[in-house]
Structure 1
Amino acid sequence: MTQVMPQATDHGGGVRSLRVPIPDNPLGHTLVYVVDTDRGPVLIDTGWDDPESWDTLADGLTACGTSVAEIHGVVITHHHPDHHGLSGRVREASGAWIAMHAADTAVVRRTRQARPERWFSYMTAKLTAAGAPEEHIAPLRTPRPRALPGLSPALPDRDIVPGELLDLAGRRLRAIWTPGHTPGHVCLHLEETHPARLPGHGRLFSGDHLLPGITPHIGLYEDPDDATVTDPLGDYLDSLERVGRLAPAEVLPAHQHPFPDAAARVRELLTHHEARLTALRALLAEPLTPWQLAERMEWNRPWEQIPYGSRNIAVSEAEAHLRRLVKLGRAEAVPGSEPVTYVAV
């Protein structure tokens, strides 16, 4: 039986969750899971690197009868700062190891090594190629020095190997590679009988891959030094089907709340994305740049109300959908167009 305490929720079977706040974000919080093992507690994700978030994490661990200093290990579902942000502080306080899929560790390493100017020049080139107007690009040409979140993330010291059990004494936690939201996103399948005997196969820590009421952002895998044409949306849809086949008794996501029937939620998301691809193909009755497509797509608010940074994310998502349509043979680039435009076929 799930029990809710002021700082923590007990999900039974040696698994609890903490609601670690994300500053100035409509998601509100990250669900950080505390998993008991024979060598001490292990965290699945850590939350955003912020003083309030750190205090909430520490207080929550105290409510669980442990402390940051006693953490044995940290398993990260993906590299985003609301998941990986506090990993370094946890390791400093406890000596815990940090595990992440190699593809996301590569992103962390690149982020740590790259100068902010490199990122601004890359974004300038990307947005220019996507057809963004000059007034949107101009601030990137003369960026003001400012602290960006996640520019110094902790470098993991262990790899999560897809398909293998993690080294957690007394537990059976298997890594499932689920790229799409990030190239190295993983879900974690707890292959143990559900404590409430719910029908299905164990429990799934789903990170941002499978959420009960929202769809994760699927944009491009950003690597300034890699010109490979990836298909993140195709990766995501394939990963969804893989998770659906696991048929866990319960899903423990990183946002919102736990829920049963992963297969039903997977079907909803597959239907949603197919409908969205069909709608976007209809928009491409006329040639559009990725920026123009993003302006016409349906978001949670009108385009005019979308903040500057979120517009960049929206364009990335438009490009991910365009790549999927092109790969499916449902759209193509218009030869000779600059910036490149796409049209339905």
Structure 2
Amino acid sequence: MAAHPKLGTGWVGARARVALSWASVSATPRKPNLSRGEKVIPGLWRLKLPLPWPLVPHGNAFAVADGDGLLLIDTGIHSEESMDNLEDALNQCGLSVDMVHRIVCTHAHADHAGQAMSIKDRTGAEILINPALEHMRGYVSDPDGTLDYRLSRALLCGVPPEAVERQRETRRGMNSGFDRVLEPDRDLVEGMTIPSDLGDLNVIETPGHAPSHVVLHQPEGRLLFSGDHILGRVSLYYDVGYTPDPAGEFLASLDKVASLGARLCLSGHGKPVNAIPELAAANKAAVEGRLRAIRSSLATEPLSAWEITSLLYEGMPEEPRIGWFLPETLAYLTHLAILGEVVRDGGEPVERWAVAPAASQATAAA
């Protein structure tokens, strides 16, 4: 296999696998997205809820027996059909939305917390979520303003103006996936315990994917409600611009979770899996691989974040490259800058990144 002109032979295979994965996902005909409820263990039910996104066709909520009612972990997105979808999934388990008296959201993304307020309106349930909610409040209260900010950042990263305008036309006026700004009744923070019939669920803060992210650990049953921190496959995404080092925070969170001794991963997408330490290790390996690829891409010349993203994810369609993979690249560049390995030139209208002088000298000396 010929070496990539900037990334070498080691990245070509990984990049090719990413491209093949995209093609298989986007080209495979999909069954209609239907809600489904199923028992996992006594007192715990998985609720598979439809999502409007081709690459992420469903998300999970979990119903947990809690005295004479239910604890609902995550809620699904808000849409015209979303409450009916949730009710249908619960009915398949012999349950009802009206039984929900407590809602715990693993993080403030729409597919996990979008209809929390609507459920509260219906049942009076209290809502618990981590208080680091800036990334949600701005987007929900002013989605077009948030879009303008993100697209101006994309221009600074080197995305061509015509591509930015295509994104603006496509995304302007889109529904946020929340019925309104989420206002919790209690803050969900490290060290709290949430009672349930499964036993106490310990709250562990795991920022990275989102500043508000937490997981819930039930130690006796070795259960982990992992939200989007760990899925049954490696899938990396970061909210960028709200915390100093999202990628570094994610790596530290993986170490916390891997040390818990939990086995059954009840994640925000996909089926439950018994492989938490292995999945944490796979996520760390994926991040390290992307960091190595970025170091290699900058070895010969300064590049914009968009140029690096296009090298790493060659063949990806424009929309996910801008919306998903560019923020991921920015998270890794920020992490490498904190480590002292790269610097940005602060240029306008496009800023570029380069190997830091000290790092370059150390490499030459080695």
- Give yes or no for TM over 0.5: yes
Residue identity opposite 1:130 in structure 2: C
1:123 touches 1:140 (CA, 8 Å); kept in 2?
no
| Structure 2: 5+ residue stretches without partners | 1-34, 361-366
Task: Answer yes or no: is 1:191 the counterpart of 2:219.
Answer: yes
Q: Give the equivalent residue in structure 2 for 1:226.
A: none
Distance 1:144 1:208, change over 3 A: closer
The Cα shift of 1:219 comes to: 4.3
Q: Give the equivalent residue in structure 1 for 2:95.
A: 66
1:219 touches 1:318 (CA, 8 Å); kept in 2?
no
Show the 5 A alignment for 1:274-293: 274-285=288-299, 286-293=301-308
Q: Give the equivalent residue in structure 1 for 2:335.
A: 324
3-state DSSP of counterpart to 2:274:
coil
Distance 1:116 1:265, change over 3 A: closer
- Which residue, 149, 158, 171 being the options, matches 1:131? 158
Q: Give the equivalent residue in structure 1 for 2:6.
A: none
- Which residue, 260, 273, 295 being the options, matches 1:259? 273
The Cα shift of 1:250 comes to: 1.1
Distance 1:276 1:254, change over 3 A: same
Distance 1:264 1:280, change over 3 A: same
Q: Give the equivalent residue in structure 2 for 1:32.
A: 61
Q: Give the equivalent residue in structure 2 for 1:236.
A: 250
Q: Give the equivalent residue in structure 2 for 1:211.
A: 231
- Which residue, 84, 89, 101 being the options, matches 1:55? 84
Q: Give the equivalent residue in structure 1 for 2:350.
A: 339
Residue identity opposite 2:240 in structure 1: L
C-alpha distance in 2, partners of 1:108/1:217?
A: 15
Deviations 1:223-247 (A, max 9, x none): xxxxxx6110000000001000001
Aligned residues: 320
1:21 touches 1:52 (CA, 8 Å); kept in 2?
no
C-alpha distance in 1, partners of 2:271/2:167?
A: 37
1:20 touches 1:32 (CA, 8 Å); kept in 2?
yes
Residue identity opposite 1:340 in structure 2: E
Distance 1:49 1:282, change over 3 A: same
Distance 1:158 1:334, change over 3 A: same
Task: Answer yes or no: is 1:306 the counterpart of 2:333.
Answer: no
Task: Answer yes or no: is 1:294 the counterpart of 2:306.
Answer: no
- Which residue, 172, 191, 196 being the options, matches 1:163? 191
3-state DSSP of counterpart to 2:52:
coil
Q: Give the equivalent residue in structure 2 for 1:272.
A: 286
Residue identity opposite 1:61 in structure 2: L
3-state DSSP of counterpart to 2:36:
coil
C-alpha distance in 2, partners of 1:18/1:141?
A: 34
2:114 touches 2:177 (CA, 8 Å); kept in 1?
yes
Deviations 1:266-321 (A, max 9, x none): 1111112111110111011221111111111137xx13x232x6513322111111
C-alpha distance in 2, partners of 1:170/1:207?
A: 18
C-alpha distance in 1, partners of 2:236/2:97?
A: 29
Distance 1:341 1:145, change over 3 A: closer
Q: Give the equivalent residue in structure 2 for 1:198.
A: none
1:204 touches 1:248 (CA, 8 Å); kept in 2?
yes
The Cα shift of 1:207 comes to: 0.4
Distance 1:25 1:87, change over 3 A: farther
Give the RMSD, CA atoms, in angstroms: 2.4
Q: Give the equivalent residue in structure 2 for 1:197.
A: none
- Which residue, 30, 38, 48 being the options, matches 1:9? 38
Task: Answer yes or no: is 1:46 the counterpart of 2:75.
Answer: yes
Residue identity opposite 1:343 in structure 2: A
C-alpha distance in 1, partners of 2:68/2:108?
A: 25
The Cα shift of 1:169 comes to: 7.1
Identity of aligned residues (%): 30
C-alpha distance in 1, partners of 2:161/2:313?
A: 23
Residue identity opposite 1:121 in structure 2: D
Deviations 1:43-101 (A, max 9, x none): 10011112443322101212222211121111001111111112122112111111100
Distance 1:140 1:279, change over 3 A: closer
Mean Cα deviation higher: 70-79 or 81-90: 81-90
TM-score by length of 2: 0.80
Q: Give the equivalent residue in structure 2 for 1:154.
A: 182
